[in-house]
Amino acid sequence: MQRLFEVFKGNQLKIIMSKIRALVAAAGRGTRAGLPYPKTLYTVQDKPILVRIAELVQDYASGLTVIASPQGEELIVNELNDQAFEAEVLVQTEPKGMGHAVLCFEDSNAFATTEHVLLIWGDIPFIQKETVQSLVGEHLSSESDFSFATRKVDAAYTVVSRDIEGRVTGVVETRELGIRQPRSGERDIGLFIFRKAPVMAILKEELSGKWGLKTGEHGFLYVIGHLAARGYKVQALPIASELDLVSLNSLSDLDGYI
């Protein structure tokens, strides 16, 4: 976290880090991937994905909160206990989408003292330490409201849009645009850090893009466009590596990595 240490020193750094809470969205039941348990518990290179994420974020946040499904709660709690990780597990009672899952954080014991949320999708096994380091450091040092890691790819399933001056104007999923064959572009990787207050407020409003046209679920990425339109500082940082892009949607996605 060299950049961060250059900006914040000693006790000031400790205070800043104490206001960051890591949040892992892991309420999927694993059925789409053909698993009888949550994807986040799938073992990759002898370690469950959730454990890999928990190890990664412990240097950047005051603690960890995991959003689980009712079916996955006990399994996730047991795994974290077996690995001696102290973490809070909250239940998303109904599968209403990623935005709804993030809103579940309001029930966290850490909610009141959290200023920034470090959000990671629970099915990403190879997020690199350097990527998290750069993201957190840049977000804090530039006093951003919402920052996320991106990478330019040949087939972008989410697409970052920018204005002529390079400022982020939004992020959309290609399936919501009716695009069957994703084109090249800049995409997010499922790693975000943001100020809690404006994001949670927007998630509660009835705004365009909130409900997926294909899924009917409460999404999350639409928040980025609304933040930008309201003048909040939004940063898409092209810092992601090839490994950061790997995610578990189907078991074949991990061919060559297990």
pTM, entire model: 0.92
**Is 175 among the domain residues?**
yes
**Is 254 among the domain residues?**
no
**Is 197 among the domain residues?**
yes
**Is 253 among the domain residues?**
no
Tens digit of pLDDT for each residue in 213-254? 888 999 999 999 999 999 999 999 999 999 999 988 766 777
Tens digit of pLDDT for each residue in 119-171? 999 999 999 999 999 999 999 989 999 999 999 999 888 999 999 999 999 99
**Number of structural domains found in the chain:** 1
How does DSSP assign 64-133, residue by residue? Answer: EEEEE-TTTHHHHHHHHHHTT---EEEE-SS---HHHHHHGGGG-TTTTT-SEEEEEETT-TT--HHHHH
**Is 258 among the domain residues?**
no
What is the per-residue pLDDT for 28?
80
Whole-angstrom Cα distance, residue 174 to residue 159?
7
Instruction: Find the domain containing 9 and state its range.
Output: 2-240
Is the CB of residue 114 less than 8 Å from the CB of residue 234?
A: no
**Is 257 among the domain residues?**
no
**Is 96 among the domain residues?**
yes
Q: For residue 55, give the CATH number of its domain.
A: 3.90.550.10
**Is 85 among the domain residues?**
yes
